[in-house]
Amino acid sequence: MKHVMVATDFSERSDRALRRATLLARSIGAQMTLITAVDEDRPRRMVEEEKREAESLLRAMKMTLRDVDGIGCETRVLVAEPSQAIVEFAAEIAPDLLVLGPHRRQLFRDIFVGTTAERTIRNAPCPVLMVNAAPVAAYRNVLLATDLSKTSAHALNIYAKAALTTDVPHSVVHVFEAPMLQLATASALTQQEAKLYIEDVKRDAARTLSSFMAAVGIGGAQPLLRQNTTAVNHEILAAAAEIDADLIVVASKQRDGLERWLLGSMTERVLRDATVDVLVIPPMCAA
C-alpha cells in the first residue's frame, strides 16, 4: 500500500480519519492525498468563499503532515456534490485506500439517500476505511468477517495483499445458520435433539470455514463461529466485542437499482452500528 486518500470536512469526525491515516501512512511509508468537497449547489459567491477557506485549511494541514509527521501530501478542493466528488476523484487517482470519518448517527434516517459516507462507500472503487474510534496507536486485533462467498474470498485476498496490519492477531468470524430450527416443525424437537442438531451443524460449518481459510491463505487466523440467533450484523459486532477487536474487515457486494438504496446490506448495518473502525472492500478492487 503506497497511496492513502483522506476525505475531510474539517469536522472532529474527519480529524479522527486524518489521524488514523497518518498513523497508517507513517507505518507503511505511504504518500497521502487530502481532499475536501465544496457542494456546488449554492450561490456562486458562497461556493468561491468556501473554496478559498478550504484551500487555506488544507495548506496548513499539508504543512503539518510534512513538518511534524514526515509525510508527503497532495491536496485538492473538489467542487461538486461531496460523495460524487470523492468517488470520481478516487477513480481518477486510484489510491490504495480511502479513509473517511464516521457518518452522523441520526435517530431518523432517509433510507433513500443516506449520508455522504454511506453513499461514498457504496460506490467507491477502492477499499474504504471508516474511522469510528479515536486513534491512539496501531491496530492491535483484527476481525475478518466472511460469508464464505467468492466475493468474501476476493476481499480477504485484497486485505492480505494490502498489508494494512501486520504481526497482529487476526480472527475470522462466520455466522452459520441452523435451518431446521427455523421450520414450523422445529417445535417438535426436544431440547436435547435441538442441541445435538446445532452441534452437528456447527461441526459442518467449522470444516467448511477451515477449508475456506486454507484456500484464501489465512489459515493462521483464529476461526470463530456464531449461530445466527440474532441478525448477522449483530453477531459480527458481538464477536468483535468478545475478542476486543479494534478493526473489522467486511466485503461489500455489488447491487443494482433501488435495492442498493433500500434497507441496506449487512455491511451497511455493521457500518451504522460499529464503534470500532470498519474496513470495507468492494468487489471491483483488483486482486
Q: How far is CA 211 from CA 145, 153, 266, in A?
A: 15, 12, 23
14 and 73 in one domain? Answer: yes
Q: Chunked in runs of 10, what are the mean pLDDT values of the chain (287 residues)?
A: 92 92 92 94 91 96 95 94 92 95 55 64 90 92 94 91 84 91 72 89 96 90 94 95 96 59 66 92 75
- Pick from 171, 157, 161, 138: which is nearest to 251 by CA? 157
Task: Among 113, 135, 157, identify where a domain stops.
Answer: 135
Instruction: Kindly give the residue spans of alpha helices, DSSP state H, lying in the chain.
Output: 12-28, 44-67, 82-93, 116-123, 150-162, 191-216, 232-243, 266-273
229 and 145 in one domain? Answer: yes
- Pick from 125, 119, 84, 126: which is nearest to 103 by CA? 119
151 and 130 in one domain? Answer: no
**Sign of the four-CA dihedral 89, 8, 277, 237:** negative
Q: How many residues belong to the chain?
A: 287
| Distance, CA of 266 to CA of 252 (rounded, Å) | 9
Task: Among 115, 135, 155, identify where a domain stops.
Answer: 135
276 and 145 in one domain? Answer: yes
Task: Find the CATH number of the domain harbouring 38.
Answer: 3.40.50.620
For the question of whether the overall pTM of this predicted structure is more than 0.85, the answer is yes
264 and 151 in one domain? Answer: yes
| DSSP assignments along 165-226, one per residue | S-SS-EEEEEEE--GGGGSGGGGGS-HHHHHHHHHHHHHHHHHHHHHHHHHHT-TTSEEEEE
Q: Which domain holds residue 191?
A: 139-287
Count: domains in the chain: 2
183 and 160 in one domain? Answer: yes
Beta bridge partners of 251: 281
212 and 101 in one domain? Answer: no
Q: What pLDDT shows up at residue 152?
A: 92
171 and 89 in one domain? Answer: no
Relative orientation angle of helices 232-243 and 266-273, to the nearest 10 degrees: 50
| Distance, CA of 95 to CA of 184 (rounded, Å) | 50
Task: Among 135, 150, 168, identify where a domain stops.
Answer: 135
Q: What pLDDT shows up at residue 143?
A: 97
147 and 236 in one domain? Answer: yes
262 and 152 in one domain? Answer: yes
Q: What pLDDT shows up at residue 111?
A: 39
Q: What pLDDT shows up at residue 267?
A: 85
46 and 148 in one domain? Answer: no
Q: What pLDDT shows up at residue 175?
A: 95
1 and 128 in one domain? Answer: yes
C-alpha cell at 179: 435451518
